Structure 1
Amino acid sequence: MKKLRFILPLLSFASLNVLNAQTQHGNNLNTLLAKDTSVLTGKLPNGLTYYIQPNAKPGKKVELRLVVNAGSILENNNQQGLAHFMEHMEFNGLKHFPKNKLVDYLEKIGVGFGSDLNANTMFDRTYYILPIPTDNPTNLPTGMQILRDWADGAQISDAEVKAERNVILEELKMRNRNASMRMMNKYLKNLLNNSRYADRLPSGLDSIVANANPQLIRDFYHSWYRPDLMAVIIVGDISKQKGLALVKQYFSSLKAPNNEKKRTFYDVLPYTKDDAQIVTDKEATRYNINISFPATQKDTTRNLGDIKQDLIKDIFSTCLNKRLNLLAQKPNPSFGYASVDLDGSISGFAIQQKNTEIDIAPNKDIKTSIDSAMYAILQVKNYGLTEKEIQIVKNDILSQYENAYNERAKQYSASYTDAYAADFMGGEQPVGISNLYQYIKELLPTITTQDINSFAKTNLINSPNTYTLLTAPDSGNLVLPDSVQLKNWVNEAEAQKVNPYVAADFSDKLISNLPAAGTIVKEEKDAKLKTTTFTLSNKVMVTVLPTTYQNDQILMSGSKPGGSNDLPASENFNATFLTMLSGIMGYGNFTPTQLNDYLAGKNVSVSPNLGDNVMGVSGSSSVKDLNTLMQLTYLTLTSPRRDTSLLDNFKDRVNQILPNQSKDPDVLFSDSVNNFYYHRSPFAPIVLPTVAQINALNADTLVHLYKSLFSTVDGMHFYFVGNVNIDSLKPLLCQYIATLPTDGKIGSLYADNHLRPIEGTHRLDFYKGENQKSNISDKYYGNIKFADDANLKADLLGQILTIKVTEILREKLGYIYSGNVSAGMSQYPYSNYSLEANLPCDPKNVDNILKAYDGILNDMKTNGPSDVDLAKVKKTTLEGFKDQQTSNGYWLSVIKATTFFDKNLDWLLKYPKEVEKVTKEDIKKIAQLLIANNHFTSISYPDKK
């Protein structure tokens, strides 16, 4: 099972601190952690590490991973960017898969390039991801051969290196050429105290990538891709014995290079002085203050004392950040956001180090924001946290571990692999959820308020040497200090006097007064779906499907006809943000923070949803928290909370950010495209709101609108799927669902506000920004009669076109790093379709790409797909469907589709056969049908010179 820091983001291992207390385990905290017996770990004689874990979900699939303990940090000066280049070369010619045969083979067995097959390069690690379907017995041995070829069989031919250069440069333009990266390049050396990490970003140097020397790539590969720096991970439908036999068969002969280089680990040296820096960019959209404390070494986790110390650290940091969040929600807050991270940004660079950092998003005045955030932090350092705050977080931790333990036999194989990769890089052994849950149950009660507050005194603001960074727009509504002022402000804030914290209390009941319970007036069984449907006394229907796909999960969804399309244009803005704003103001007697505290220790969530033609509520819970799920559902539908202070707080924060959003080229491009596409209709989706629209938000208006939409449940149909006991559910339905009010008015699935995209053929060229990158969006759309089989064919067409885009625009022409095409149909409020390509690229290649893409479309209309490409997308689709069938979410969508949307149940149940019977001629015909009618091409460019 994933380890503590990976199962629950709330928790992370900290420094070794052996304590003297005893646990119920009967062992001293010096006791070494038990080994996870569910996974077989070990090393081959050549030094290669392996992790093998049998796992049943999903069936007939094995997740393979190759982890290389080497990344960009090991590059020589003339290799910067070539660790990442080497990762690319693993897909461009292997010993047993020359040129592009690897991707071709994997697509044929249902493994999608990018979506399934993938890799990534970091500072210290390179990671290869390969899921293998095992329905064909030859697949798994071939998958192991691919891992072996990645390890030492890459061809790295001169021709393939030359062909791949442009692809990598396009990737770097797409990912790294923006305001955030430009600012990072200015401050990174200071943040990392001139560490080697500042000069070894995985993206490298464009000049080296553009002229990549094949021999330098080979040198990196042969130096660092070696067995003592590698781990093979196998998780899935396989026995330990078979997995080990495969590892030995394919990797025992792997040899280390002669005169192998020492694998050096690099550090970030602690700051030796106070420093500050202001970095601006004309396209930056936010202000942010980061106060970084000196780097320290991470400690591996070996014993119970380590886990206890780690729990102390994370209880403390969670409580502290909740305090800061409460301050940000107060009227006229001094900052928009603040947090303390005890595993700060340095830990994202240096694999063996960590640091503490404070992040603050200033609001109106930078000095006041720093003072206010630091005041709250000093309150905790000087006066500590309350027992109630601590207990709330302890309850949450225990609840999350209980759920993870209950689901230990139902985890997907891919959920284990990242944890084992981290274990390998950190030099730690897997512990397993069964052991961890036992440790957590025993250790949490032994952690006292004094433990937490002692930790705060020792670990908060514990060094006079800090690096403070302010990033900001180069022209905005806040007055920027110089670096000396900024440094002085931080020092003054740290020296201020503070008073003890006074905690606010909140209600101890979700619902104060409930009406008398209703009744179940009808019960029906569906033999084909194995569902039970109840009709309640208020005419609400409830369909229940008990499953065993997860041990501790119940999914709930309630939907009724109607939605934003029933509203006039004057309500479009309120409707767009209604459910978000209701969450910001809270429900019943609870603010959002108070509600989270009340629900601590419970695994439950509920949220409203408002679509164009359907609205309702959705949620989930553990088995033991079903009662709370029902109460929370009732509260969410009936009791929106009016809170002008929280709403004004939200408006202040948005108004702080909004003026700078107009500097973001991507946001402006999306807004311009949206306005053009919907010809500025008052019903158009809102991309970039105005300050006037935000300021016009009114708590009374929002609550009234919410109640008019959600407080009555006429036409509502609820669904419960998961490990739900029907007999236990019945009385809860009577109390919390049958008592929901009705008024006799039922909305329509077909309510139509007549919002339509612009007709005809149009092209929009948009110029904004200094980054030399473009994005092409090419869309065909129009009215069409909806049919399930036609929608399936459209989806397959989009997948086939994506293959052709990758094959031609990326691999053959080198114009793009990634691109995709999607196609589909919608039924409500009117039947329509769209086929859209997104193709990020270099501006100089736009016209060539459009010409080549047009050729791809014309060929598809004229000739249809190849047999090979059609077989690939069918196999990939069926592999995805196979995985979906073992999830509660999939079956929730099925029963909802057939009972609420009147979909054909037989068609859904025979979906694999429907996929298999699609022919080349079907795809050709659907292409001819969809690549027609209205055509809108929008292209972003950098500023005209």
Structure 2
Amino acid sequence: MTKMLCGAACALVLLGTTTLASAAQPVPAPSGSAWMSGEGLRVDPELRLGTLPNGMRFVIRKGKTPPGQASLRLRIDTGSLNEAEDQRGLAHFLEHMVLNGTENVPEGDFVKRLERHGLRFGPDTNASTDFSQTVFKLDLPQTDKETLDEAFFLLREIAGRAKLDAAAIDRERGIVLSEERTRASPAFRQLTDELAWLFPGQLLPNRLPIGTTEVIRTAPPQRMIDFYRAWYRPERATLVVVGDIDPGEVERRIASQFGDWRGVGPAGTPADEGRPLTRASAASIYVDPSIAAMVRLAWVRPADTEPDSAARRVREFDEQIATAVLNRRLEKLAQGDGDPPFVSARMDVSEFENTAETSGLSAIARNGRWLSALRTLEQEQRRLVTYGVTADEIERETTGSRAALKASLAASATRSSPALAESVVAAIDGNNVATAPADRLALFESTVQGLTPQRVNAAIRRLFVGSGPLVYLTLPKPLPGGRPALLAAYEASRKVAVAAPVAQARVAWPYEKFGTPGAVVERREIADIGTTLVRFANGVRLTVRPSQTRKEEVLVNVRFGDGRLAMAPDRVSPEWALGPGLTFGGTTRLDADQINRSLTGKLVGANLGLDDERFVLSGGTRPEDLTTELQLLAAYMTDAAWRPLGWERLKSTAGSIHDRLESSPGGILQRDSGLLLRSGDRRWELPNRAAMRASSIADGRALLEPALRSGPVEVVMVGDISVERAIAEVAATFGALPPRAATRRSAGAMRFPAANAAPTILYHKGRDDQAVGFIAWPTTGYSAETRQLARTLTLLGSVFQLRLTDRLREAEGVSYSPGAGHAASSTWPTYGYLAAQIEAPPAKLDSFFAEAQEIAADLAAKPVDEDELNRARRPTLAAIERARDGNSFWLGALADVADKPLQLESIRTQQSDLKAVTPAQIQAAAKRFLTGPTAYRIKVVKGTPAPTGRSDGK
């Protein structure tokens, strides 16, 4: 069983994937589910489980969210832990190869065949390898016979028919090495070091799935063939099918397609993962200039291999409550007045396969104050062990858990097929039982009936046993005195007496009245998209779209002010800290912790973001809590306290933010591309270190307060809610506010940079072999006049992506994930660009630029063929169809629909416009925008910028 406990919220992660049944009344498992069982638990009756005569297992579940679609997962019960020393990385390499040439599918055709059925490589067609499993994933945009035939055929090709051709393996080596380069971040190196510290002498630290570059470069094909034959066998395979299908017909398909699969040669023997060493307290330090100061206390013990059962889950729930209480205390300290020692801190309990179980407390130190963070962690852990938890704390955590479990049950009928498929795979990987939401709630209720502080305190004692604590510290510079100094600091803290925790008073929610509910002065229906537009007397607008596609989900955006248009293009942008600056500061009547305590049991949220034209307060809730959700958002709009806590917390990480970005070429491109592609418009600039350190909450307040006080307001609401309820709730909150202005700022001009004959060079501090190339051509934005052209450019970008992948990934094996696409602005209707990007060794960048120009020239010289256009268009249309089934799409699409006729027209014509694009139109667009000396290029390579280059104010 795989376990991760980080509090009551994470308890629900476990319960959500391996849901619970009543411990009092064990229920027999349904027929065919004997391979998934646990005492006191029953398999979800919606699942159809079975085993073929060859040992292959399957799980089938009917679901209609989204309608007409299905998710398939082929799980192979092996991963990197089963590699021999000379096979390190081959489990992952093999994942690539089985998609790259089989008995009946030539090399390079696997993904193309799926694209013709509307699947995109990455989002819909993917695979993953971890320590214990390899999973192949297909999310089908339709479940017609032809698509299902293709999907089952291709999965059967993976299962036992891979060719593993030597030449194809050699071509793929560069792609896997590119993936290794992409992942080789300081965070990955630190994780590798920490695992080695926690589990010395065990297999796990030496079997990270990416493997070693030596094996990737040199492993002979036979070594991969040996791994494939040993582990890709029917008795180690499970096929999960969830979606709008006939379960009986799918079972017959599985039997027909996979029934003849037989293993070749001897089966593999699972590796001995080893056991944790018995150790007393010890310390270790990891030094990296790109890593923030972080301290961790860990207790390591053997993995709990007891089978899944109701009794085990009850014990784990007690531990989860204890963990949640401690995390709540740590968060309160992080939000405290004065100068908290850490930016964030939390406890987690994790099980690493069959290697070990750990309990750990970790904190990101504020301004490098690791010693204060260490003392606080140690003393809070000891306070918990010494004095335990209170009944009030237990009540708070169980109240929140109950609310989430009830919402999960109410929403279960519309849970998406991909999410259900992933949850079943997770249950199988953890040797857990996948059960129904109703059973999950039943066991919860029976568990909490007898939950006492004494029982939770007993769970606390179980959490802090084993070797340790093992003290682990990351620092950007070496620590004087080294490990002995770190261990001495820990021992000194242990000598400090701790007092019992101070009881927290209950907090009432004070934001229930905002004035006289507003009167509706305008209302109109847009029947074809099921949307109602409302304007209140104070100028506030409401756009509401009821939907039953996701039960128990209501999403809300409160759009106000002018977003980036309110910022000066020649001044440092405060966007980087705006969100936490507002929400972590709480309101004048409640600080952030008091808001959380007053809303215990409510499923609400508040976040602040922005786009080009509006600031956006957003939240998600269930119908039961919609009143409180709107009150919370209105409280932030009308009564923000501007406490500096959130801003200062983020500001204290300024150094680590830049260190992380500078550690990789992708980070540097992320940091600088927005500014460069807009000719130095500083609204897209991330402030340097000095500017971050010099900033304050006053910067955010000066920008936001006028918009919060009097700017235009539009409430967009989508989900499981009626129009009348939405109107009443908004009338009582935002409709009750003083009159709001309805003015809009002019966008001014936006310029794409001038073409550069030689690329702009940016420098990162990562590995020498890491580099990124980026090329972009100016196009146009999105307006009523350019709508169809913008759609054409979207498909041109998709075709460019296909060609880039064919050349640089499939044919040349240069890059793991070359990318291309088109971006068009509706705020600046003449601004847009088509861009292509690649991660590759530095020596390959010039050839990338040349090949990108060749692709551009070829697209301009002759029209694409229908097959290539369909491989670009069908996945795009399928993605749109899938998105339109959910609430998130409509939340964004309906923004400003009352004021912008183009927005409504865009919704109506999005699919038809794309269907109407012809090869000739794509060629014409390529000829217009991708020829001539207009391209702007960026290289990101290892090095140090010249003094005249971008300064980060170190």
* 2:226 partner amino acid: D
The alpha-carbon distance between structure 1 residues 510 and 903, as it changes in their structure 2 partners (threshold 3 A), is: farther
> Given the alignment, which residue of 357, 365, 370 partners 1:362?
365
Give CA deviations for 1:863-905 in whole Å, capped at 9, x if unaligned: 1322211011211112112212322233344443532332264
In structure 2, the CA distance between the partners of 1:428 and 1:712, relative to structure 1 (3 Å rule), is same
Structure 1 residue aligned with 2:848: 849
Of stretches 530-539 and 78-87 in structure 1, the one that deviates more from structure 2 is 530-539
CA contact (8 A) 1:395 1:601 kept: yes
* CA offsets 1:780-828 (integer angstroms, 9 cap, x no match): 1255573222221111111111110110111111211111101031121
- 2:35 corresponds to: none
The Cα shift of 1:918 comes to 0.8
User: Is this contact kept in 2: 1:671–1:688, CA < 8 A?
Assistant: no
Instruction: Give the equivalent residue in structure 2 for 1:159.
Output: 167
Q: Which range is displaced more, 109-118 or 432-441? A: 432-441
Matched-pair contact (CA < 8 Å) for 1:608–1:637: no
1:301 and 1:398 map into 2 onto residues whose CA distance is: 26
Q: Deviations over 1:491-543 (max 9, x none)?
A: 33344320111144464023175323332234333333333333322132323
Separation of aligned partners in 1, 2:481 and 2:254: 59
Work out the CA distance in 1 between the residues paired with 2:4 and 2:490: 34
* Contact preservation (8 Å) 2:300, 2:467: no
Decide whether the 8 Å contact of 1:36 with 1:432 is kept in 2. yes
Aligned 1:213-292 pairs, distance under 5 A? 213-282=220-289, 284-292=290-298
Residue 720 of structure 1 is matched in structure 2 by: 717
Match of 1:145 among 129, 135, 153: 153
Equivalent pair of 2:507/2:597 in contact (CA under 8 Å): no
Question: Structure 1 pair 201/730, CA: closer, same or farther in 2 (3 Å)?
Answer: closer
**1:397 corresponds to which of 398, 401, 404:** 401
Equivalences for residues 873-892 of structure 1 within 5 A: 873-892=872-891
Q: CA deviation at 1:71?
A: 1.4
Identity %: 19
Structure 1 counterpart of 2:705, which letter?
Answer: K
Task: Indicate the residue corresponding to 2:85 in structure 1.
Answer: 77
> Structure 2 regions of 5+ residues with no counterpart?
16-21, 29-37, 946-954
Cα displacement string for residues 128-156 of structure 1 (whole angstroms, at most 9, x for unaligned residues): 11223445412212211222221100011
1:378 aligns with 2:385: no
Amino acid at match of 1:887: G
What residue number does 1:337 align with? 344
Alignment partner of 1:766 is 2:766: no
Alignment of 1:201 with 2:208, yes or no, is: yes
1:436-470 deviations in whole A, cap 9, x for unaligned?
1222233234322222223223423x346343222
The gaps in structure 1 that reach 5 residues or longer are: 15-21
Query: What SS class does the counterpart of residue 827 from structure 1 fall into?
Result: coil
The residue number in structure 2 matching 1:110 is: 118
Q: Distance in 1 between matches of 2:148 and 2:443?
A: 37
Question: Could you say if the C-alpha distance between residues 730 and 108 of structure 1 is closer, same or farther in structure 2, counting changes exceeding 3 Å?
Answer: closer
The 8 Å contact of residues 57 and 238 in structure 2, kept in 1 or not, is answered as yes
Contact 1:12 1:314 in 2 (8 A): no
Contact 2:764–2:940 (CA under 8 A) maintained in structure 1:
yes
CA distance in 2, matches of 1:115, 1:729: 34
What secondary structure is seen at the aligned counterpart in 2 of 1:509? coil
Per the normalisation by structure 2, the TM-score is 0.90
Show the counterpart of 1:307.
Answer: 313
212-221 or 264-273, which deviates more: 264-273
Going from structure 1 to structure 2, the CA distance change for 1:200 and 1:503 (only over 3 Å counts) comes to same
Equivalent in the alignment of 1:792: 791
Is 1:90 the counterpart of 2:88? The answer is: no
**Contact 1:573-1:693 within 8 A present in 2 as well:** no
8 Å contact from structure 1 (residues 534, 543) kept in 2 = yes
Q: Deviations over 1:147-190 (max 9, x none)?
A: 222110001111211211122112211212x3334445555433
SS at match of 2:92: helix
Q: TM-score, normalised by structure 1?
A: 0.91
How far does the alpha carbon of each residue in 1:71-130 deviate from its partner, in whole angstroms, 9 at most, with x for none?
A: 122122222221112111111111221222211211111111222111111122111112
**Which residue number corresponds to residue 414 of structure 1?**
418
State whether residues 674 and 687 of structure 1, in contact with CA within 8 Å, keep that contact through their aligned partners in structure 2: no
Report what 1:467 is aligned to.
470
Structure-2 change in CA distance of 1:488 and 1:42 (3 Å): farther
Paired position in structure 2 for 1:18: none
Alignment of 1:53 with 2:61, yes or no, is yes
Contact residue 5 and residue 349 of structure 2 kept, 8 A:
no
- Paired amino acid for 1:732: E
Matches within 5 A, 1:131-142: 131-142=139-150
Identify the residue that residue 711 of structure 1 maps to in structure 2.
Answer: 709
- Choose which of 747, 756, 771 in structure 1 pairs with 2:751: 756
Q: 1:661 to 1:241 in 2, by over 3 A?
A: closer
Q: Secondary structure of 1:120's match?
A: strand
2: distance between equivalents of 1:928 and 1:871? 20
Compute the displacement of 1:264 (Å).
3.6
**3-state DSSP of counterpart to 2:131:** coil
- Residues 570 and 323 of structure 1, relative CA distance in 2, 3 Å threshold: farther
Q: Is the 8 A contact 1:552 1:622 kept in 2?
A: yes
Q: Could you tell me how far 1:481 is from its partner in structure 2?
A: 4.0
Whether the 8 Å contact between 1:510 and 1:632 is mirrored in structure 2 is no
CA distance in 2, matches of 1:837, 1:486: 48
1:13–1:208 Cα change, 3 Å: same
Higher mean alpha-carbon deviation, 783-792 vs 409-418, is at: 783-792
Give the SS at the match of 1:306: helix
Q: 1:797 to 1:443 in 2, by over 3 A?
A: same
**1:23/1:446 contact within 8 Å kept:** no
User: Aligned partners of 2:25 and 2:657: how far apart in 1?
Assistant: 54
Q: Is the Cα–Cα contact under 8 Å of residues 796 and 922 in structure 2 kept in the other structure?
A: yes
Q: Which moved more, 1:396-405 or 1:568-577?
A: 568-577
Contact 1:521–1:537 (8 Å) recurs in 2:
yes
Partner of 2:50: 42
**8 A contact 1:773–1:942 mirrored in 2:** yes
Q: Residues 13, 108 of structure 1: CA spacing in aligned structure 2 closer, same or farther, 3 A cutoff?
A: closer
Contact 2:542 2:727 in 1 (8 A): no
* Secondary structure in 1 matching 2:653: helix
Q: In 2, distance between residues paired with 1:765 and 1:713?
A: 41
Aligned residue for 2:573, secondary structure, equals: helix
C-alpha distance in 2, partners of 1:354/1:259?
A: 32
Q: Give the aligned partner of residue 820 of structure 2.
A: 821
Cα offset, 1:776, TM superposition: 0.7
Where does residue 566 of structure 1 map in the other structure? 566
In structure 2, relative to structure 1, the CA distance for the partners of 1:396 and 1:301 (3 Å cut) is: farther
1:651-697 CA distance string (max 9 Å, x none): 4x23563675685354455545555555555x342324333443341
Q: Quick one: which amino acid aligns to residue 628 of structure 2?
A: T
1:454/1:409 CA distance change after superposition, 3 Å: same
Larger CA deviation: 88-97 vs 430-439: 430-439
1:164-183 aligned at under 5 Å gives the runs 164-176=172-184, 178-183=185-190
Structure 2 Cα separation of the partners of residues 623 and 277 of structure 1: 49
Q: How big is the alpha-carbon RMSD for the aligned residues of Structure 1 and Structure 2? A: 3.0
Residues 779-788 or 162-171, more deviating: 779-788
> Which one is further off, 70-79 or 150-159?
70-79
User: Number of paired residues?
Assistant: 920
Alignment partner of 1:317 is 2:323: yes
Residues 261-301 of structure 1: CA deviation (Å, up to 9, x unaligned)? 3334523424334332222234x231222222123223456
Partner of 2:950: none
Letter in 2 for 1:293: W
Tell me, in whole angstroms, the C-alpha distance in 2 between the residues paired with 1:62 and 1:698.
48
Could you tell me how far apart the structure 1 residues matched to 2:95 and 2:441 are? Answer: 37
**Match of 2:361, as an amino acid?**
I
Do the aligned residues in 2 keep the contact of 1:634 with 1:740 (CA within 8 Å)?
no
Is residue 2:921 matched to residue 1:914?
no
Q: For residue 414 of structure 1, report the CA deviation from its aligned partner.
A: 0.6
Q: Summarize the Cα distance change of 1:900–1:5 in structure 2 as closer, same or farther, 3 Å threshold.
A: farther
